[in-house]
Amino acid sequence: MVWGAIAYHRRSQLLRIVGNLNSNRYIREVLQPEAVPFLQSLPGAVFQQDNARPHTARIVKSFFAAQQVQLLPWPACSPDMSPIEHVWDVIGRRLARDPRPVASADELWLQRSAMDYHFNTPPLVTSIL
């Protein structure tokens, strides 16, 4: 799994998450090192995430409250409304066009293709979403 965040003309680093993501790992490996600093660099930012279990756990909600992160309420079963899903789609289409075969997720990550595609996504894509 790969985690990333977008804002108007800004992108976070991509984080690779190996294995299952639970609420404690989400806080420790995503929110603390990447998401909260990214949000704090954006005055007035509101964080949007889907309703996956690690995102909606009480411990995660408490963490956001303690960090004073404003969350956007999100309706159930609405991935098509999430702006980053469109960015993932662009990345997926670019990866599909790449003629170099990739045998595994490890190989893909080691080649840093996903990172390259993420950072080469034109700012226009994220600004019009």
Kindly indicate the confidence band of residue 18, based on its pLDDT and cuts at 50, 70 and 90: very high
Q: Residue 121 pLDDT > 80, yes or no? A: no
What CATH fold (topology level) applies to the domain 2-113+121-128?
A: Nucleotidyltransferase; domain 5 (3.30.420)
Instruction: Express each pLDDT in 58-108 by its tens digit.
Output: 999 999 999 999 999 988 777 678 888 888 887 778 777 777 777 888 887
**8 vs 5, higher pLDDT:** 5
> What residue segments make up the domains of the chain, in order of their start?
2-113+121-128
Diameter of the chain measured on Cα atoms: 46
User: Rounded distance, CA 111 to CA 106, Å?
Assistant: 9
User: Rounded distance, CA 115 to CA 110, Å?
Assistant: 10
**41 vs 82, higher pLDDT:** 41
Q: 47 near 22, Cβ under 8 Å?
A: no
